[in-house]
């Protein structure tokens, strides 16, 4: 019988089959574990909502405050949650210079700290808050005004329901949001700033009204088959008609660099497959895209969106009412105003968004790298 | 040579030559695709700042029409309409065109119910004219008033911010079309669905995003995406003859000078096939439609002046992708013939053998590399362990695609028209079996958004 | 933008050496990336070069060890080994020792051939029926079985023995071992440097051991059924099996790297 049936081989074959199965064992085990459990989740608001982290922190604090607390003094109680300690302070608190705190702080009044303090956990202040020069924080949510002294470093986010002031050379790792106004000191940097009003140093306090948005009468350019065929007006304006191709009913494509010398009022959406330089006092009534850099002269008015595959420079004293988006950097010249009647505006740079002095916008400044305000020295040099 | 009895010396030589040719072809073609997969995966993995328009979300709200074509979709119609009426887009600038395309079930009644209750929902009933999704879209486009048309298939479930996220890139005047990311929600139902979830992740998280980052053309998938109305008009509207009108539109747009944007953050739940027959129908349609587009568009793509050389090459890679399945099978069969040939035992050239090994093992590995990178970026800690099972999915898809393409070419050879459009089977049953079918006019909530913002399935 | 908080050691409370529990906000999955630093690339290159050089310089010992393991398992399976023959691989590479066993000649035993063929087909049909996802794969295996049967019946001179099969096998495996370090480096080391380098070595070792087991099983098949199941063994247990363990290994590496990069909250 052993000669007819190769038992040892059969045993080997069975072991071999087991070894083959082993290749798929982990997969099989995981499948049995995850079967019946939804495994992919869509997180709608995560970080994308401007004040997501601040709101999320406020919600968590609400839950934590329900937990049993130990009273440590007449003005303070502490709550232990896992390895975290939450210090709840009734009334206000003032930290002296150089103090450090490694607990989550919930302050039910006003908060103040001297220079050089370090707070390694989140802080929620239900009154106003003021941080001294050179303080280092993780993140702060304030239900009032928030003032940061010079050189304050914030690892994550800042949020206030009213006015928020960033001192000179403050650094904020992620988003800064405010329900009122954000005042950016010289050299301040952040991931993004979002508020009904965001202003930089030396802001003159003015926001132009709709009327002041109206500008001088300029030659009107609207592309159409007839206009392109007629050539004269377009060539006089500086366009090479041979490079113009119609993309859609309301948009045209310009194949090459575009360098206009005289101001115009451009009414049609335009895609420039190269660099685009527009002179001072230009009026853009429609969207413009440039594959290369987009330079817009001083005192221009942009009602359409400004998009560039590289960099955008908006000249001093310009106004914009749409979106600004550059894969590279964006520079908003001094005196720039960004606003529109029926909503907020946004300027975004894939790398760095530089904001000169006296810039005021209603909406958001954001960057893949950072938003940086012109330093005091640069501003002085500019003024000079 | 053990191929056929009675085969003469000349015949053997021809068979061997053919085998070598097909093996060589398979090696070259699949190596090129493998390189492409590796490049895309590494580019996506390493690129620190992907291109996106997410910071612009909500700042530009053009008038938008959402088109939802439905053919016998009573099981899912209420879910998608409910999701759309709950979205956070400005109601005065949004309309939902629910298209009942010759439905024979309760789809029409569900659409009418929503149209009666919500002024933003418009019902369109089609009972004549050509069938199929493209024809339905063509008719709806005529009635749409939006500057932007967004499209959702009926089995999709858009979250509240999705419309805002998808319209954001249209603030760029050169963007003609936008594509969002598809996330399967039923990956826990069957192993096939779980594997398709991994495949989708690779396709979107890596493939689409890498193409967008590299300045190539992401593909508009005909759902969870949109098209600028003026761009659509400029290329002559939907191609009702195409089985994959989305692919067809993508390349007609780029040929005209428009760009396609991809928004990785614009995630939308979809239902992937849970059974193999449904998957086979789906992939057969995609393969046929894609290859049909290839035959129609390749001369224009090569001659185009608006596309760069790399864009042209990538476009051809995209359109030829389903042809790799029969090439792979031919390569396998050729290597089988060569296996029994005495030449196999005396291959002297190391480099040829290297290529063979590279193609057999590492060429096929490339798609898995992409899956892994997608899983890594998505943080699919547990699900990624299912990856080895995808090998079976790979074989199954290869054979299904090859069958579909053989049918396609036979029809072409006999001068027959293209195969009819076939809808992918739905597996969700809540619209049918839950209260909606019993008289309630509210769709049961399929998903709910927790306080943490995470959208999860409420349970079946 | 990453802003780091730096403690002043002079004023910092004792035992506090870290800065923050979580120094950055987990990016949403849509914008995540992993920095491929020069250090990672260097480590990947070093790992790949070291492993390749090790395989190239130690090929005689590697092949001998592989053969020893194969032979031991063939003997354990009850198949008499007639000896070891040296078989050339490629110019520039050492010849490989091959286990010699008698190969069954089924062309002279049609009844045995029929039984084995029927058993093979029945097993494959069962898998085809029960595992829909594996159908494409099974159909291809059936084609291979049919072709092999055709060869046995109509062209028996094309049959070969364990030495020729080992030669084909080792040609593929030797190249896999030489190329594998580069793919391991790209797939493991770039996504997680230290774990990746260790994992690349482990995968290489596993690859060599597992190859010997698969070859031993294939040689046993040759002994009992001639070339009837050899194409199946070559297709399913050869380079494809190499690909399977690489995928398994890769999936484990990704799971590790993912949990390290994003943690449980990173989903």
The DSSP secondary structure of A173-235, one letter per residue, reads SSEEEESSEEEEPTT-EEEEEEEEEEEETT--S----HHHH------EE---HHHHHH-HHHH
Distances in whole angstroms, Cα of residue C217 to Cα of each of A275, B176, C212:
67, 58, 9
Find the angle CA(A123)-CA(A126)-CA(A127) to the nearest 5 degrees: 110
Residue C36 DSSP one-character state: -
Inter-chain CB proximity C258 and B42 less than 8 Å: no
User: Where is A312: in which H helix or E strand?
Assistant: strand A312-314
Phi, psi of C191 (to 5 degrees): -90, -25
Closest approach of chain A CAs to the CA of C266, in angstroms?
11
Q: Lowest-confidence range among A240-244, B6-10, B226-230?
A: B6-10
Asked whether A171 and A187 are in contact (CB, 8 A), the reply is: no
Q: Which of C5, C19, C224 to substitute to test the interface with A, most A CBs within 10 Å?
A: C5
Distances in whole angstroms, Cα of residue B202 to Cα of each of B281, B283, B374:
21, 16, 5
pLDDT value for A384? 65
Q: In C13-134, where does DSSP find H-type helix?
A: 38-57, 59-76, 110-130
Q: Is B348 on the interface with C (CB under 8 A)?
A: yes
The pLDDT confidence band at residue B433, using thresholds 50, 70 and 90, is: very low
B143-167 pLDDT, tens digit each:
999 999 999 999 888 888 899 999 9
Inter-chain CB proximity C3 and A26 less than 8 Å: no
High-pLDDT (> 70) share of chain A, %: 93
pLDDT, greater one: C24 or A329: A329
Inter-chain CB proximity C20 and A155 less than 8 Å: yes
pLDDT value for B357? 60
| Residue numbers of C between 25 and 54 with CB closer than 8 Å to A | 25, 27-28
The pLDDT confidence band at residue B328, using thresholds 50, 70 and 90, is: confident
Inter-chain CB proximity B395 and C140 less than 8 Å: yes
Q: Is A30 on the interface with C (CB under 8 A)?
A: no
Asked whether C245 and C237 are in contact (CB, 8 A), the reply is: no
* 3-class DSSP state of A100: strand
Confidence check: pLDDT of B450 > 70: no
Place of tokens 């960033």: A166
Inter-chain CB proximity B194 and A363 less than 8 Å: no
The pLDDT confidence band at residue A188, using thresholds 50, 70 and 90, is: very high
pLDDT value for B432? 44
Q: In B47-171, where does DSSP find H-type helix?
A: 77-85, 107-117, 133-143, 162-167
Q: What is the ipTM of this complex?
A: 0.90
Q: What is the Cα–Cα distance from C169 to C212, expressed in whole angstroms?
A: 10
Place of tokens 């007006």: A233
C-alpha radius of gyration, chain B, whole number: 23
B98-117 pLDDT, tens digit each:
999 888 888 999 999 999 99
Phi, psi of A347 (to 5 degrees): -125, 125
* 3-class DSSP state of B337: helix
The pLDDT confidence band at residue B96, using thresholds 50, 70 and 90, is: very high
* 3-class DSSP state of A284: strand
Strand partners for B94: B64
pLDDT value for A192? 94
Q: What is the Cα–Cα distance from B197 to B383, expressed in whole angstroms?
A: 9
Asked whether B319 and B216 are in contact (CB, 8 A), the reply is: no
* Angle at which helices A7-34 and B191-201 cross, to 10°: 70
Contacts of A20 in chain C (CB under 8 A): 241
Inter-chain CB proximity B45 and C186 less than 8 Å: no
Asked whether B68 and B96 are in contact (CB, 8 A), the reply is: yes
Strand pairing of A158-160 and A140-142?
parallel
Q: Is B393 on the interface with C (CB under 8 A)?
A: yes
Q: What DSSP assignment string belongs to C139-162?
A: HHHHHHHHHHHHHHHH-GGG---H
pLDDT value for B49? 65
Closest approach of chain C CAs to the CA of B155, in angstroms?
23
pLDDT, greater one: A70 or A16: A16
pLDDT value for B438? 39
Place of tokens 């929503």: B114
Model pTM? 0.89
Asked whether A236 and A254 are in contact (CB, 8 A), the reply is: no
High-pLDDT (> 90) share of chain C, %: 48
B243-257 mean pLDDT: 92
pLDDT value for C238? 87
Residue B157, Cα to own-chain centre: how many angstroms?
A: 16
Exposure of C126 by Cβ count < 10 A (0-12 exposed, 13-18 middle, 19+ buried)? Answer: exposed
Confidence check: pLDDT of A117 > 90: yes
Q: What DSSP assignment string belongs to A124-149?
A: EESS-EEE-TT-EES-EEESS-EEE-
Asked whether A341 and A319 are in contact (CB, 8 A), the reply is: no
Phi, psi of C216 (to 5 degrees): -60, -45
Other residues' Cβ atoms within 10 Å of the Cβ of residue A128? 19
Largest CA distance in chain C: 91
Inter-chain CB proximity A43 and C28 less than 8 Å: yes
Q: Encoding tokens for residue A138? A: 């993780």
A10-18 mean pLDDT: 95
Q: Which of A19, A155, A191, A372 to substitute to test the interface with C, most C CBs within 10 Å?
A: A155
Q: Lowest-confidence range among A80-89, B295-304, B402-411?
A: A80-89
Asked whether B275 and B192 are in contact (CB, 8 A), the reply is: yes
Residues ≥6 apart with Cβ < 8 Å to B290 = B244, B247, B318, B319, B321, B322
If you measure CA to CA, which chain A residue comes closest to C214? A16
pLDDT, greater one: B460 or B312: B312
Residues ≥6 apart with Cβ < 8 Å to B417 = B411
Q: What is the Cα–Cα distance from C154 to B3, expressed in whole angstroms?
A: 9
C175-228 pLDDT, tens digit each:
899 989 999 998 899 888 889 999 999 999 999 999 999 999 999 999 998 888
Exposure of A216 by Cβ count < 10 A (0-12 exposed, 13-18 middle, 19+ buried)? Answer: exposed
Q: Encoding tokens for residue B146? A: 């939006």
A253-270 mean pLDDT: 92
C29-83 pLDDT, tens digit each:
888 888 888 999 999 999 999 999 999 999 999 999 999 999 999 999 999 999 9
B252-274 mean pLDDT: 92
The pLDDT confidence band at residue B346, using thresholds 50, 70 and 90, is: low
Q: Encoding tokens for residue B403? A: 């069958």
Closest approach of chain C CAs to the CA of B315, in angstroms?
24
Q: What is the Cα–Cα distance from A239 to A254, expressed in whole angstroms?
A: 9
Residue A82, Cα to own-chain centre: how many angstroms?
A: 33
Residue of B21, A7, C137, A4 whose CA lies nearest to C145: C137
Residue of A324, A277, A279, A325 whose CA lies nearest to A298: A279
User: Where is A350: in which H helix or E strand?
Assistant: none
pLDDT value for B437? 37
Q: What is the Cα–Cα distance from C267 to B379, expressed in whole angstroms?
A: 5
Q: Which of B46, B360, B388 sits opposite C248 (nearest CB)?
A: B388
Phi, psi of A242 (to 5 degrees): -65, -25
Q: How many contacts does A have with B, using Cβ atoms within 8 A?
A: 159
Q: Lowest-confidence range among A91-105, B29-43, B329-343?
A: B329-343
Contacts of B450 in chain C (CB under 8 A): none
Instruction: Tell me what the pLDDT averaged over chain C comes to.
Output: 86
Q: Is C213 on the interface with A (CB under 8 A)?
A: yes
If you measure CA to CA, which chain C residue comes closest to A371? C1
What is the sign of the dihedral through the CA atoms of B223, B226, B231 and B232?
positive
pLDDT value for B379? 87
Closest approach of chain C CAs to the CA of A247, in angstroms?
31
Q: In B161-217, where does DSSP find H-type helix?
A: 162-167, 191-201, 209-213
A192-218 mean pLDDT: 78
Q: What is the Cα–Cα distance from B309 to B30, expressed in whole angstroms?
A: 20
Asked whether C85 and C97 are in contact (CB, 8 A), the reply is: yes
Residue B315 region by backbone torsions, left for phi larger than 0, else alpha for psi between -120 and 50, else beta: alpha
Neighbours of chain B (3+ CB pairs under 8 A): A, C
Q: Which of B26, B208, B277, B384 to substitute to test the interface with C, most C CBs within 10 Å?
A: B384
pLDDT value for B185? 86
Q: Encoding tokens for residue C234? A: 């070559």
Confidence check: pLDDT of A202 > 60: yes
pLDDT, greater one: A37 or B386: B386
Find the angle CA(A308)-CA(A309)-CA(A315) to the nearest 5 degrees: 35
Q: What is the Cα–Cα distance from B446 to C30, expressed in whole angstroms?
A: 24
Q: Encoding tokens for residue B294? A: 């290839």
Contacts of C78 in chain A (CB under 8 A): 6-9, 12
* 3-class DSSP state of A370: strand
Q: How many Cα atoms sit within 13 Å of A59 on the Cβ side? A: 10
Residue of B371, B391, B380, B394 whose CA lies nearest to B41: B371
Closest approach of chain B CAs to the CA of A24, in angstroms?
7
pLDDT value for B130? 74
Instruction: Tell me what the pLDDT averaged over chain B comes to.
Output: 85
Place of tokens 């049993």: A68
Phi, psi of A290 (to 5 degrees): -125, 130
User: Where is B60: in which H helix or E strand?
Assistant: none
Q: Is B199 on the interface with C (CB under 8 A)?
A: no
Return the top range by mean pLDDT from A36-50, A93-107, B42-56, C158-172: A93-107
Confidence check: pLDDT of B1 > 50: no
pLDDT value for A69? 85
Asked whether B264 and C28 are in contact (CB, 8 A), the reply is: no
Strand pairing of B259-270 and B175-184?
parallel
């Amino acid at each position: 019988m052993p000669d007819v049936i190769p038992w040892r081989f059969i045993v080997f074959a069975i072991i071999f089959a087991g070894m083959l199965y082993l290749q798929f064992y982990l997969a099989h085990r995981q499948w049995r574990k995850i079967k019946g459990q939804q495994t992919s989740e869509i997180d709608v608001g995560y970080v994308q909502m401007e004040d997501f982290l601040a709101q999320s922190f406020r919600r968590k604090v609400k839950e934590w405050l329900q937990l049993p607390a130990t009273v440590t003094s007449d003005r303070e109680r502490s709550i232990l949650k896992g390895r975290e300690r939450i210090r709840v302070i009734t009334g206000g608190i003032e930290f002296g210079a150089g103090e450090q705190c490694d607990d989550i702080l919930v302050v039910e009044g006003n908060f103040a700290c001297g220079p050089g303090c370090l707070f390694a956990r989140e802080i929620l202040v239900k009154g106003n808050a003021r941080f001294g020069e050179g303080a280092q924080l993780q993140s702060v949510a304030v239900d009032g005004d928030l003032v940061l002294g010079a050189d304050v470093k914030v690892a994550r986010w800042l949020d206030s329901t009213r006015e928020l002031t960033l001192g000179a050379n403050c650094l904020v790792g992620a988003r800064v949001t405010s329900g009122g106004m954000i005042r950016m000191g010289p050299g301040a940097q952040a991931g993004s700033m979002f508020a009904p009003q965001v202003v930089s140093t030396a802001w003159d306090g003015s926001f132009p009204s709709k009327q002041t948005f109206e500008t001088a009468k300029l030659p009107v350019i609207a592309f159409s088959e007839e206009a392109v065929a007629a050539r004269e007006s377009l060539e006089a304006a500086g366009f090479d008609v041979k490079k113009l191709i119609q993309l859609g009913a309301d948009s045209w494509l310009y194949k090459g660099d575009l360098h206009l010398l005289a101001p115009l009022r451009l009414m049609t959406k335009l895609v420039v497959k190269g660099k685009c330089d527009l002179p001072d006092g230009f009026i853009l009534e429609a969207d413009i895209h440039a594959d290369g850099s987009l330079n817009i002269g001083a005192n221009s008015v942009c009602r359409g969106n400004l998009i560039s595959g590289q960099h955008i420079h908006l000249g001093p004293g310009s106004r914009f009412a749409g979106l600004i988006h550059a894969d590279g950097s964006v520079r908003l010249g001094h005196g720039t105003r960004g606003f529109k009647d029926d909503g907020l505006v946004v300027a975004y740079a894939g790398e760095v968004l530089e904001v000169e002095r006296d810039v005021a916008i209603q909406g958001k400044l954001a960057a893949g790298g950072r938003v940086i305000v012109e330093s005091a020295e640069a501003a002085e040099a500019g003024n000079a | 040579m053990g191929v056929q009895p009675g085969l003469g010396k000349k015949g053997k030589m021809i068979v061997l030559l053919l085998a070598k040719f097909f093996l060589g072809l398979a090696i070259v073609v699949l190596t090129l695709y493998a390189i492409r997969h590796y490049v895309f995966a590494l580019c996506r993995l390493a690129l620190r700042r992907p291109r996106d328009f997410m910071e612009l979300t909500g700042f530009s709200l053009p008038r938008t029409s959402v088109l939802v074509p439905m053919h016998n979709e009573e099981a899912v119609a209420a879910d998608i309409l409910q999701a759309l009426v709950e979205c956070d887009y400005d109601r005065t600038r949004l309309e939902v065109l629910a298209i009942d395309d010759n439905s024979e079930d309760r789809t029409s009644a569900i659409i009418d119910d929503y149209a009666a209750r919500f002024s933003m929902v418009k019902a369109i009933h089609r009972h004549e004219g050509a069938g199929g999704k493209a024809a339905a879209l063509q008719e709806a486009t005529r009635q749409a008033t939006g500057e932007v048309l967004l499209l959702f298939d009926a089995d999709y479930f858009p979250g509240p911010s999705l419309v805002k996220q998808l319209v954001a890139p249209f603030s760029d005047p050169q963007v003609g079309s936008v594509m969002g990311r598809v996330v399967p929600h039923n990956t826990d139902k069957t192993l096939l669905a779980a594997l398709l979830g991994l495949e989708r992740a690779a396709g979107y998280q890596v493939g689409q995003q890498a193409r967008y980052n590299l300045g190539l053309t992401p593909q508009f998938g005909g759902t969870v995406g949109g098209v600028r109305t003026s761009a659509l008009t400029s290329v002559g509207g939907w191609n009702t003859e195409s089985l994959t009108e989305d692919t067809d539109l993508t390349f007609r747009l780029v040929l005209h000078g428009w760009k396609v944007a991809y928004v990785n953050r614009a995630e939308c739940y979809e239902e992937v096939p849970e059974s193999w027959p449904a998957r086979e129908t789906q992939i057969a349609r995609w393969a046929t439609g894609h290859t049909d587009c290839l035959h129609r568009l390749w001369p224009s793509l090569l001659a185009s002046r608006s596309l760069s050389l790399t864009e042209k090459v990538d476009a051809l890679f995209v359109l030829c992708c389903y042809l790799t399945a029969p090439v792979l099978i031919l390569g396998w069969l050729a290597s089988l013939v060569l296996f029994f040939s005495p030449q196999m035992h005396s291959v002297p050239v190391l480099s040829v053998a290297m290529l063979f090994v590279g193609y057999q093992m590492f060429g096929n590995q490339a798609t898995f590399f992409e899956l892994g990178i997608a899983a890594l970026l998505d943080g699919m800690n547990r699900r990624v362990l299912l990856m080895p099972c995808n090998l079976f999915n790979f074989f199954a898809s290869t054979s299904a695609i090859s069958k579909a393409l053989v049918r396609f070419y036979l029809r072409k050879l006999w001068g027959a028209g293209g195969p009819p459009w076939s809808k992918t089977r739905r597996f969700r049953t809540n619209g049918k079996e839950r209260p909606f079918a019993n008289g309630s006019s509210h769709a049961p909530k399929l998903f709910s958004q927790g306080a943490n913002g995470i959208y999860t399935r409420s349970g079946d | 933008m990453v802003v780091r908080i730096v403690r002043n050691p002079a004023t910092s409370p004792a035992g506090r050496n870290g800065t923050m529990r979580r120094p950055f906000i987990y990016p949403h999955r849509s914008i995540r990336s992993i920095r491929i630093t020069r250090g990672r690339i260097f480590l990947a290159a070093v790992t790949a070069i070291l492993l390749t050089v090790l395989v190239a310089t130690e090929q005689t010992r590697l092949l001998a060890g592989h053969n020893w393991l194969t032979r031991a398992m063939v003997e354990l399976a009850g198949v008499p080994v007639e000896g070891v023959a040296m078989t050339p691989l490629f110019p520039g590479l050492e010849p490989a020792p091959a286990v010699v066993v008698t190969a069954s000649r089924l062309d002279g035993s049609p009844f045995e051939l029929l039984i084995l063929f029927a058993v093979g087909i029945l097993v494959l049909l069962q898998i085809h029926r029960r595992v829909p996802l594996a159908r494409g794969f099974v159909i291809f295996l059936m084609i291979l079985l049919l072709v092999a049967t055709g060869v046995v019946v109509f062209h028996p001179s094309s049959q070969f023995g364990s030495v020729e099969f080992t030669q084909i096998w080792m040609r593929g495996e030797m190249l896999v071992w030489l190329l594998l370090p580069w793919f391991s480096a790209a797939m493991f080391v770039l996504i997680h440097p230290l774990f990746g380098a260790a994992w690349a070595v482990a995968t290489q070792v596993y690859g060599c051991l597992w190859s010997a087991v698969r070859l031993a099983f294939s040689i046993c098949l040759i002994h009992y059924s001639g070339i009837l199941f050899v194409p199946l063994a070559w297709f399913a247990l050869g380079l494809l099996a190499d690909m399977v363990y690489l995928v398994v290994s890769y999936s484990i590496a990704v799971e590790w790297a993912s949990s390290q990069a994003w943690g449980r909250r990173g989903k």
